[in-house]
Chains A and B, each alone.
Chain A
Amino acid sequence: MVPRPRISRRKLEELFFQGLMIISTVGVLGSLLLILGTIVWRGLPALDLAMITQTPKGGYYLGQEGGILNAIVGSLYLALGGTLLSMVASLPIALYLHFYAARSRWAEVVRLALDVLWGIPSIVYGAFGFLLMLWLGMRASLLGGIITLAFLELPIMARGMDEAIAMVPAALKEASYALGATRFETAARIVVRQTAPGLLTAVLLAFGRAIGDAASVLFTAGYTDRLPDSLLSPVASLPLAVFFQLGTPFPKVQERAYASALVLTVIVLVLSVLSRWLSRRLTRHVIR
C-alpha cells in the first residue's frame, strides 16, 4: 500500500471550501441581523399606534403629534402600481424572447439592453421620469412615480422572468405543440403555469427594489403630508420619509426615521413570506 499523509490534500480542499461557504453565509445573515437590530433598537421606541395610523400633524417634524400613514399608503400605492404596470410589460417581453425571438441576435440585443438598464442607478430613472413628465406637462404625482418605478422595475422583472422561462424543458413545450397548440397557447397555458413560482420571484424582487427606492420618486412623486387622493396629486413614500426625518436635528424625529425604516422592512418581510406561501401552492403542478 502507498503511504498516505494523515490529512490528504483533497480533504484539506474540501474543508477549506466548506469553511468559506459557511463564513459567507454567516456573513450574510449577520449583516441582515445587524441592520434589523439597529432599526429595531433605534426605531421601536418611537413606533406607536399613532405612527402607523395618523398622517403628520403640524409640528410633526419638530417632534410633535402625528404619524407616517401618508408615506405607508403612498409607498404601497407607488410600488403596487409600478409593479402592476411593469408586469404588464415584462411578461410579454419574456415570453416574446422565448417564443418568437428564440435564440436570434435580436433577442440577445434585448437581453443586453435589459441588463444595462438593470445597472443604471435609480436617480437616473428619477431624472428621466422627471424629464418625461416635464415634456408631458405633468407635475410630481402618484402617476409620475408609478411610471418611473415601472421603468425601474422592468429590467429586473423581465430578466427574472426570462431566466425562469429558460428553465422550461423543451420536451414540455413540445408536448403542448404535439397536441396542436399554438405558441401563444403553449406560452399562456403551459409555460406560465410551469414557471409561476419563478415569475412570482421576479415580481417580488422588482417590488422590493421599487418600494425601497428613494431617488426615483424624489422628483417624480414628490412628497406630501396628506393621503393620496388622486393619481395626479403628489404622494409621500417611506424611503423619503426616512430621508427627511433623519435629516432633522431632533433626536425624537430621527428615531421616527428608524421607526419608518422598520415599517418598510416589515412590509417587505410580510410580502416575502406571503409570496413564499403562494409559491409553494403554485409549485403543486410544476413538472420536474
Chain B
Amino acid sequence: MTEPLIEIRDLNVWYGTEHALKGITVDIPARQITAVIGPSGCGKTTLLRSLNRLLEETEGTRVTGQVLLDGVNIYDRGVDVTEVRTRVGMLAPKPFPLPMSIYDNVAYGRRIHGLPVLDKGNGRHLDRIVERYLRAAGLWEEVKDRLHSPASGLSTGQQQRLCLARALAVEPEVLLCDEPTSALDPISAQRIEEQLRAIKTETTIVVVTHSLRQAHRLADYLIFLWLGELVEAGPARQVFQNPRDERTRAYLAGDIG
C-alpha cells in the first residue's frame, strides 16, 4: 500500500437519531482507485459525503471522529470548508450541469476560486484550460463546436462527462464518485470508467458502486461496508480472492445484499 492520503479515524455519522456510520477507521491510499461496496443503505453515500463535508448541507446530521487529509483533520474548527471541497472534488450519481453554457460549466470552479486563467509563461489561457479538462473527461470532440450552448442540451452521458470535466478543472487531489455510472447507458458508463482509470495517476479516486463487476474493473483498493460498519478493507485483489470476513465472502458470492 502506498502512503495514505486520507485517514478516517473512528468516524460516526447520525441522521437525527439514525446511526448511519459506526466507528469507521480506514486509510485511503493516494493515487489509486478505492471502491466502496456494500448493499444498498449500508452507508456508502454517507461515507463519501463525509469526505468533502457535504453532509453538513443535509439538515440534522451529526459527525464525530476525524477525517485526516494529508494529516489535517478536515473537521477541525479552523478549516475552511470551501478549501476542503476544492481539494476533494465530487461526481454525483445523476449529472447536474450548472445552468450555464458548457464552457462556463468547466470554467465555473476556476473562476470562483480565482485559479490562474492566464499565465503568459506557458500560455495557460482559460480557453485552453477548458479544452484540457473537456479532453480529460473524453468530451472535447463532441462539444468543441458548441462550447457556448447550454449544458442542459447535452445527453445524460455527455452531461456526466461534463460534470467530470467541471470537477477536474478545479484540480482536486481527491475525486469522490458516487455510483457515477448508475444513470448512464453502457457506452457512456464505459467512457466514464476509462477516464477514471486515466486520471488516477494524478488523482486519488474513491468510487462508490453497487456493481461488483465495476469494482472488479476499477478498484485497486476495496472497502466493504455492512449496516454502517466497516467489515473489511484491503487491496482489491486480496479482498476479492481471499476475503477474511464471512459477510464479505457471502456478499461477493451474491448470497447477501
Q: Write out the residue numbers on chain A whose beta carbons fall within 8 Å of the beta carbon of B85.
A: 177-180
Query: In the complex, A176→B166 CA distance in Å?
Result: 10
Contact partner of A180 (CB less than 8 A), chosen from B82, B92, B99, B100, is B82
Q: For chain A residues 269-287, which have a beta carbon within 8 Å of chain B?
A: 284-287
Q: Are B167 and A287 touching (Cβ within 8 A)? A: no
Query: In the complex, A143→B148 CA distance in Å?
Result: 43
* Cβ-based interface call for B86 (8 A): yes
Q: Are A179 and B108 touching (Cβ within 8 A)? A: yes
Q: For chain A residues 171-208, which have a beta carbon within 8 Å of chain B?
A: 171-182, 185, 189-190, 193-194
Query: In the complex, A194→B98 CA distance in Å?
Result: 8
How many residues of B are counted as interface, with CB atoms below 8 angstroms from the partner's CB atoms? Answer: 30
Q: Write out the residue numbers on chain A whose beta carbons fall within 8 Å of the beta carbon of B150.
A: 284-285
Q: For chain B residues 86-103, which have a beta carbon within 8 Å of chain A?
A: 86, 89-90, 92, 94, 96-101
Q: Which residue of B lies closest to A170 (CB)?
A: B57
* Cβ-based interface call for B184 (8 A): no
**In whole Å, how far is A214's beta carbon from the nearest beta carbon of chain B?**
39
* Cβ-based interface call for A103 (8 A): yes
Contact partner of A171 (CB less than 8 A), chosen from B83, B89, B94, B170, is B94
| Contact A285:B86 (CB < 8 A) given known A172-B96, A180-B113 | no
| Contact A173:B170 (CB < 8 A) given known A287-B97, A287-B98 | no
Query: In the complex, A179→B115 CA distance in Å?
Result: 13
* Cβ-based interface call for A102 (8 A): yes
**In whole Å, how far is A189's beta carbon from the nearest beta carbon of chain B?**
7
* Cβ-based interface call for B187 (8 A): no
Q: Write out the residue numbers on chain B whose beta carbons fall within 8 Å of the beta carbon of A121.
A: none
Q: Are B170 and A180 touching (Cβ within 8 A)? A: yes
Contact partner of B92 (CB less than 8 A), chosen from A175, A286, A288, is A175
Query: In the complex, A288→B99 CA distance in Å?
Result: 9
Q: Are B108 and A178 touching (Cβ within 8 A)? A: no
Q: Which residue of B lies closest to A182 (CB)?
A: B82
Q: Write out the residue numbers on chain A whose beta carbons fall within 8 Å of the beta carbon of B32.
A: none
* Cβ-based interface call for A169 (8 A): yes
Q: Write out the residue numbers on chain A whose beta carbons fall within 8 Å of the beta carbon of B118.
A: none
Q: For chain B residues 132-184, which have a beta carbon within 8 Å of chain A?
A: 150-152, 163, 166-167, 170
Q: Write out the residue numbers on chain B whose beta carbons fall within 8 Å of the beta carbon of A182.
A: 82, 112
Q: Are B109 and A180 touching (Cβ within 8 A)? A: yes
Q: Are A179 and B170 touching (Cβ within 8 A)? A: yes
* Cβ-based interface call for B209 (8 A): no
Q: Are B167 and A285 touching (Cβ within 8 A)? A: no
In the complex, 14 of the A-B residue pairs with CB atoms within 8 angstroms, ordered by the A residue number, are: A169-B96, A175-B163, A176-B108, A177-B54, A178-B167, A179-B86, A180-B85, A181-B112, A185-B112, A190-B99, A193-B100, A194-B99, A285-B99, A285-B151
Residues of B within 8 A of A (CB): 52, 54, 57, 59, 82-86, 89-90, 92, 94, 96-101, 108-109, 112-113, 150-152, 163, 166-167, 170
Give the 6 A-B residue pairs with the shortest CB-CB distance, closest first: A180-B86, A178-B90, A180-B85, A285-B99, A179-B109, A194-B99
